[in-house]
Amino acid sequence: MSDVAVNRAEEIVFSALKFQSSAERAAFWDRACSDDATLRATVETIWVEYTDGECFLKECQPALSPGAEAIRLLADSTDFTDEVSAEFDSDKIIGSNIGPYKLLQKIGEGGCGTVYMAEQEKPVRRRVALKVIKLGMDTKNVIARFEAERQALALMDHPNIARVLEARATETGRPYFVMELVRGIKITTYCDEHWLNVRQRLELFIQICGAIQHAHQKGIVHRDIKPSNILVTMLDGVPVPKVIDFGIAKATGGERLTDNTLFTAYEQFVGTPAYMSPEQAQMSGMDVDTRSDIYSLGVLLYELLTSKTPFDQNELLNSGLDKMRRTLLEREPQRPSAKLDGLQAEELTQTSLHRQVESPRLKSLLLGDLDWIVMKSLEKDRNRRYQTANGFGMDVQRYLNNEPVFARPPSRLYRLQKLVRRNQTTFASIAAVSVALIAGFGTSTWLFFREREARREAESARRVQTELRAEADARAKISQAALLISRNDMAGADHLLDNIQIPVVEPSLEAAGVFHTLGNWNVTQGRWQVAADRILQLEQANQVDKADLTADETRDLLGAGPVLIVAGDLKKYRQFVQVTLHRFAGTSDPVAAEEVMKNSLILPADATTLQKLEPLVKLLQSSVAQNGPEVAKNNYLIPWQPLALSLYEYRCGNFTNVIVWGQKCLDYSNPTPPRVVMVHIVLAMAYSRLNQPENARLELAAGREPIEKRLPDGPEKIVDLGRASTGNWHDWVIAYFLLHEAETFVK
Amino acid sequence: MNNITLVLEAVSQGDGHAADELLPLVYSELRRLAVARMARESAGHTLQPTALVHEAWLRLVDDDNRTWRNRAHFFAAAAEAMRRILIDNARRKSRLKHGGGQQRLNIDDVEQAAITPDDKLLMLNDALEQMEKENPEYARIVMLKYFTGLTNHEVAETLGISESTVERHWFNAKRWLVKKVRASA
């Protein structure tokens, strides 16, 4: 065999190494060799040599990789005295200097390093906390990553955040962080030792939410929120929680998939898996954002309430890497109140004692709102959690004020869907990593393939990143808008949302809130086109889960109808009608059905639309039959249903039926003005068509007056958004258009 | 400028004896670190040879002298140290097992379970020694990858060559070694 041919064959085998499956490899060889049988044979030979080589190298090592084995041998050698460097012996290090800092005493030991109290002399005299990072971490990168965030970290100024002052390295290259010294104890310990009751614990928690919010607004995600990172210190007799270690998790964690960082990420992971969010547990390099912190806050709250974490730390650690991830990604945690059931009597007594409440009382305290608040923050899907730390804190505050909270138990449909839904996590590559981690690094083949894979992942990650960045940007803007809204700065909030493209808006209940508010605000400003935009953005944000929309949310959504007409965009209005018909086609909720019908029939509709409405018609008819005027005396939603039906009959041309339904509607008490008005107008139109001009005129007059009073300057000028009892602006606007239509032919 | 830096300097300038001096210096530092590490950490942790060598590098050589050339020599010495430790250990165990003088194992024995990994390591070592003479470039890569656990990227950095070259050499080295082992049996 000529040298050239051998080289060619080598080239072919080498290039095919990237393929994982033998099928792909064979296919590649076939293509590369085409008809050359000898070449193909050589390729096979070379491949066998290569795999033999791999096998042999593997066989040469006992349990550990050669390097690891060598280290073990080195360490075991007995002819060696205990000449351990002072730097490793933490006791000997006390009193020595690291940079400008003099170490005074050791105050803690963490997952990634040791913490000391230190004193600085120049340029300023102060005491600080110094965290020396464990060895094995790539110093230059740790410091570089820290520096990247340093600007933002420096801007943080919040009473509940311990500032990280700087990141440096020792002479021998070990990185360390200098932080504001916080003399305090772990929050969970503090609460238990001082017997803080549930209210007091929640009050501390709300402060922590404020701190995290502050950081998020500076663009900093903590990534490692857990009790040991929240110390409670006393200031003037008042307990103050302080969040520490900002910026450190990111700097030391890193996202590059090299052996070193994987290992340290593994260490961190193994350190406190109970607090890791599902997306962090995936370790796929996926963009871990502020909502990951929200999850960790949820775990913290859980622990403050029950002294347990949703998943037991030891259980997680003992179950192996794969199972650990599976649990965090897929298993539903118990509600806090339910978790108490699993405790032994003594444990329950202790837990209750620490919260100054009697054992049976604790469960009832947690049952209900607190349960749902916690569970909302622990949702696997980060879009379903609280989107901001402030949002989280405010819900807790609402609970304390005895106001209704936003968190709700999931609907039956959603729960069913969750059972059926399976997470699409790829465990293949993760499993490979875990095997290697446990078996010890050093198998060169494994490293070879790992690098290839890492490179491929990096490429696709880069593509996804631009998309992710746009999404993250939109999300950040929405968060900020929510904050501005809470401060009543509607104009500011609206301005932020101007540039968000609709497809980029991720579904989330909180985003829906923002768009709803701003949609309404724009209506009061007379900016109808913008209002329409906001509502369409709201539509996007509401993709969260159809089954979960409340009546209010449905109404908000459908309110786009009148807005689009006022904005003059009839084409969009008609599209919108089709979209909503499609979306609510299968609804079994008569309230939603009524809104859909009403909003779809503001203008005359075509046959297909009417046909699509038929199932809703049946639904409404049976609802009205079951809920007559006597039964629905105090219900202000039911009476809209016969109105919707009369409007439907009108659009179909069944004028006598219109009268029937119209009369039925008037039989109900609770005369919401726009509803009554609309009935009059629809009756007017029907009478006119039925050639009863006198009746028509009477009805029209009854309908016209209230509308002229309410909308003196036409539908473009909405000053008051209205309430359910006086009528929402949506309904007044619809009434207006119906009046306008009636006036064209009723004399 | 400390002791080891001087030695590295000498090695760079082609001083053959200096290389001999380098080895024990690196060896003792590695030993010190290994002992300290084992003492501090619990048994469950896996050992990372790269980290240890890296640490030794950072501890022994200061900022100003961390040139890539020095690094290349240092890491090569570390890899050599680790190789010797393993080979010494393997020889000792082989002697205990097979009793007395060096026995040449033949290829059929390789397939049997009776042949321990240590025995195979010795065979590998022989092949490696030959590789050092016939193809030193490959040998350097085998040393760094196999005994020190460096990634392709790190090897490329250390030797000042491209990563794809490293990949290719590693690919060929594996074939070369196993062929040599089988041939000599």
Select from B81, B86, B172 the Cβ nearest to the Cβ of A66: B86
Residue-level pLDDT at A613: 92
**Interchain CB distance below 8 Å, A444 and B146:** yes
Residues A115 and A214 grouped into a single domain = no
Mutate to test the interface with A, among B26, B46, B166, B169 (most CBs of A within 10 A): B46
A174 in the same domain as A125? yes
Residue B108 buriedness (CB in 10 A; 0-12 / 13-18 / 19+): exposed
| Locus of tokens 């089988």 | B182
What range defines the domain where residue A11 resides? 3-53
Strand ranges across the sheet with A185-186: A185-186, A230-235, A238-243
Q: Do A444 and B38 touch (CB under 8 A)?
A: no
Q: Where are the domains of chain B?
A: 3-184
* Structure-token pair, residue A436: 């290697």
In a domain, A581, yes or no: yes
CB atoms within 10 A of CB A584: 23
Residues A321-353 have pLDDT tens digits of 667 777 888 888 999 999 998 888 888 988 998
Dig out the tokens for A334 from the structure. Answer: 């118990």
* Partner B, chain A 255-284, Cβ-Cβ below 8 Å: 258-260, 263
B82/A437 CB distance under 8 A: no
Instruction: Calculate mean pLDDT across residues A696-701.
Output: 92
Q: Are residues A115 and A155 in the same domain?
A: yes
Is A307 a domain residue? yes
Q: Do the beta carbons of residue A357 and residue A199 sit within 8 Å?
A: no
Average pLDDT, chain A: 77
Put simply, the answer to whether B153 touches A66 (Cβ < 8 Å) is: no
Tell me which residue has tokens 């080195």.
A74
- In a 13 Å sphere around the CA of A716, the CA atoms on its Cβ side amount to 6
Name the β-bridge partners of A106: A116
What are the pLDDT digits (tens) for A352-395? 989 988 888 888 888 888 999 999 999 998 888 998 899 899 99
- Is residue A434, in this structure, part of any structural domain at all? no
Sign of CA dihedral B121, B123, B129, B130: negative
Does the residue A135 lie in any domain?
yes
How many angstroms separate the first and last alpha carbons of chain A?
A: 103
Mutation site for A-interface testing, chosen from B28, B164, B174 by largest number of A Cβ within 10 Å: B174
Q: Do B46 and A438 touch (CB under 8 A)?
A: yes
pLDDT confidence bin for A659, thresholds 50/70/90: very high
Within 13 Å of residue A602, how many CA atoms lie on the same side as its CB?
Answer: 27
Question: Same domain for A566 and A669?
Answer: yes
A263 interaction partners in chain B (CB closer than 8 Å): 46, 48, 51
Q: B182 in helix, strand or coil? A: helix
Mean pLDDT of A526-535: 76
- Name the band, by pLDDT with cuts 50, 70 and 90, for residue A475: low
Give the minimum alpha-carbon distance from B132 to chain A in angstroms, rounded to a whole number. 17
CB neighbour list of residue A587: distance below 8 Å, 6 or more residues apart: A593, A596, A616, A619
Tally the domains of chain A: 4
> Tell me, what's the pLDDT at B155?
92
A538 within domain boundaries:
no
Note whether residue A483 is domain-resident. Answer: no
Tell me, yes or no, whether A251 lies in a domain.
yes
Same domain, A264 and A317: yes
B52, B151, B178 ranked by CB distance to A451: nearest: B151
Count chain A–chain B contacts defined by CB atoms under 8 A. Answer: 161
DSSP letters, A354-399, are HTTS-HHHHHHHHTTHHHHHHHHHT-SSGGGS-SSHHHHHHHHHHH
CA distance B78 to A6: 35
CB contact under 8 A, B148 and A64: no
For residue A112, what are the CA distances in angstroms to A99, A132, A152, A261, A280? 20, 8, 22, 12, 17
Q: Are A441 and B46 in contact (CB under 8 A)?
A: yes
Q: B74 and B11 in contact (C-beta within 8 Å)?
A: no
CB contact under 8 A, A56 and B124: yes
| d(CA B116, nearest CA chain A) in Å | 8
Q: Amino acid identity of A179?
A: M
**Can you give the pLDDT at residue A212?**
94
Contact A687, A733 (CB under 8 A): no
Alpha carbon distance B119, A302 (integer Å): 56
Q: Tell me the shortest Cα–Cα distance from A197 to chain B, in angstroms.
A: 39
Q: Are residues A148 and A269 in the same domain?
A: no
Which of the listed residues A355, A379, A413 is the one where a domain comes to its end? A413
DSSP SS3 for A101: strand
**A664 and A615 housed in the same domain:** yes
What is the arithmetic mean of pLDDT over A465-477? 62
Q: Which residues of A are catalytic?
A: 224
- Is A285 a residue whose pLDDT tops 80? no
CATH number at residue A716: 1.25.40
Neighboring chain A residues of B175 at a CB cutoff of 8 Å: 46, 49-50, 52-53
Average pLDDT, consecutive stretches of 10 residues, N- to C-terminus, chain B (185 residues): 76 76 83 73 62 86 82 90 87 68 48 68 92 94 92 90 93 93 78
Give the residue from A162, A180, A198 where a domain finishes: A180
Q: Which residue has the higher pLDDT, A505 or B25?
A: B25
Residues of chain B contacting A49 with CB distance shorter than 8 Å:
175, 178-179
Q: What is the pLDDT of residues A71-103, one digit of tens each?
A: 878 776 543 333 323 343 455 567 778 878 888
A532-588 pLDDT per residue, tens: 777 766 666 665 444 455 556 666 667 777 877 887 777 778 877 887 787 777 788
Beta strands in A615-705 (DSSP E): none
Whether residue A48 is found in the same domain as residue A168: no
Q: Is A438 on the interface with B (CB under 8 A)?
A: yes
Confidence of residue A452 (pLDDT cuts 50, 70, 90): low
Asked which of A180, A212, A247 is the last residue of a domain, the reply is: A180
The SS3 assignment for A103 reads strand
C-alpha distances (whole Å) from A716 to each of A522, A558, A672, A740 are 11, 18, 22, 14
- Residue A403: the pLDDT is 79
Band of residue A297 on the pLDDT scale cut at 50, 70, 90: very high
Per-residue model confidence (pLDDT) at position A368: 81
A152 lies in the same domain as A195: no
Among A220, A279, A286, which Cα is nearest to A255's? A286
Q: Are residues A303 and A371 in the same domain?
A: yes
Q: What is the pLDDT of residue A278?
A: 86
Gap from B15 CA to chain A (nearest CA, Å)? 27
The DSSP line for B4-36 is HHHHHHHHHTT-HHHHHHHHHHHHHHHHHHHHH
The distance in angstroms from the start CA to the end CA of chain B is 49
